[in-house]
Homo-oligomer: A and B are copies of this chain.
Amino acid sequence: MKIKLDYTNMVLDIKNIREKIESAKVSISEKKSKGLMDFMLLPHNQGNVVEEILDYKEKMKGKIENIVILGIGGSAFGTYVLHNALNHPYHNEFKTPKLYIADNIDPERLFHILERVDINKTLFNVITKSGETIETISQFMIIKNLLGGKAKELIVITTDEESGSLIKVAKNEGFKTFFVPKGVGGRFSVLTPVGLLPAAFLGLDIKEILRGASQACEDTAITFAAMQYMSLLDNKNIFVMMPYVDRLKLVPDWYSQLFSESLSKEIDNDGNIVNTGFNVAKALGATDQHSQLQLYIEGPKDKIIIFLDVDEYHEEMIIPKNYENIDSLKILGGVPHSKLIKLSKKATEASLTEVGQMNMTLTLPKITEFTIGQLLYMLEYSCAFLGELMNINAFNQPGVEHGKKLIYKYLSKI
């Protein structure tokens, strides 16, 4: 059950950066031993947490019909990705617990969720690593007020064990809590309770997700990172991620945060001003052949295309032979949709390659908890490795701090 990387169409020679790769490997391993790469420990150190999540789920059994996530950015993307990949696309129409994600402060978001759920039968999972995210804190304050005496039973908080306002509140008032390990940032937190708790409640096998992550292939991740690094050197800094699988549709959103936020930096590790950046574009095959392909084929050569694919879909649809008298319909008779989408991808790949538009493909054998765990960890590892290759700090986000301060300044003047 390995994820394969095909980079035949990249026309870049990894040998040219062999030394750089070797020194990045050394550097990653040094940083790991210094406790600076703690996301790498998650596939191995969340065993007890998993048991605690499963116990908690058992305890809440029969009490809830909905789970509402109060969290934004890295506190929500992981749940979106896991749910989209592993559950029914129309889950909320006929399954429980229904999932609602309040990852915005458009007032209509929470309003419409509250219209839909019986709050007395709803688990509210408040998620903020820092414990200070104002969007999330504001939603917590609203929900706590509405729940009144039932707040302690129906709110569960995922945050840092020591720092931030939320852990103080949780301790004072006795809320159930789960922790994001200190050295793991929000965008690397899908394999902590941030992603695992909602996943468990939504019926996913979280042990398998972690087992998949623990067996991700680092060599493949390194090659994937190296291809992206060489593309950057080649002045291509737009990375289109285009799954040809509905179940992977939201991976580009998650990848976009992970890579854009981690790898866009003004200053490198030596203090040089670099203003480097990683633009991720999101697409879906075959759908976006009808909206984006013109750009990829005839537009500027400032990008690479990263396809995601599967060997096997979960279901099949076969086109019947009911128009044998019309040539353009007859040719489709008897063809399975899984074959048609693969031919579409093959045609897109060939068209791109013919005009010199570089592209590569990550192929999962089939979408399961195990392979999704593999994929997410592999992308995290690639991201960290790219940070080393680029000589930048992939784990901070200095650019957004100023805006956060401005909001407090504006609030104080209301």
Contact = CB atoms under 8 A, between A and B. Distances in A.
A36 to B, nearest CB: 19
Nearest to A285: B104
Interface string A260-281: 1100111000000001111101
Kindly name the residue among A141, A294, A346, A398 whose own CB sees the greatest number of chain B CB atoms within 10 A: A294
Nearest to A262: B294
A23 interface: no
A281 B279 contact: yes
Nearest to A399: B297
Given A137-B329, A407-B344, A260 B93 contact: no
Contacts of A132: 328
Interface residues of A, number: 126
A294 B397 contact: yes
Given A291-B74, A292-B256, A300-B276, A340 B138 contact: yes
Contacts of A343: 407, 410-411
Contacts of A314: 108
Interface in A65-124: 72-74, 76-77, 88-90, 92-94, 98, 100, 103-113, 115-116
Given A92-B93, A335-B414, A351-B402, 5 more contacts: A103-B287, A105-B341, A108-B247, A132-B328, A339-B414
Contact of A277 (B134, B299, B341, B406): B299
A284 interface: yes
B246 A109 contact: yes
Contacts of A316: 107, 111
How many copies, total?
2
A237 B300 contact: yes
Contact of A246 (B104, B266, B406): B104
B298 A266 contact: yes
Question: In terms of DSSP, what is the predominant structure of the interface of chain A?
Answer: helix
Interface in A195-240: 237-238
Interface stretch (A6-14, A47-55, A318-326, A376-384): A318-326
A291 B402 contact: no
Nearest to A279: B238
B406 A257 contact: no
Contact of A116 (B94, B110, B144, B165): B94
Residue among A237, A293, A341, A414 with max Cβ neighbours from chain B (10 Å): A293
Contacts of A326: 165, 168-169
Interface in A299-352: 299-303, 313-320, 322-323, 326, 328-329, 331-333, 335-341, 343-344, 346-348, 350-351
Given A92-B90, A108-B247, A347 B406 contact: yes
Nearest to A280: B281
A127 to B, nearest CB: 12
A191 interface: no
A145 interface: yes
Contact of A408 (B144, B279, B284, B331): B331
Given A264-B298, A291-B261, A402 B340 contact: no
A375 B244 CA distance: 31
Contacts of A59: none
Contacts of A299: 260, 264-265, 275-279
Contact of A169 (B286, B323, B335, B414): B323
Contact of A317 (B111, B168, B344, B408): B111
Q: Which of A92, A245, A277, A284 has the most CB of B within 10 A?
A: A277
A354 interface: yes
A46 interface: no
Nearest to A396: B294
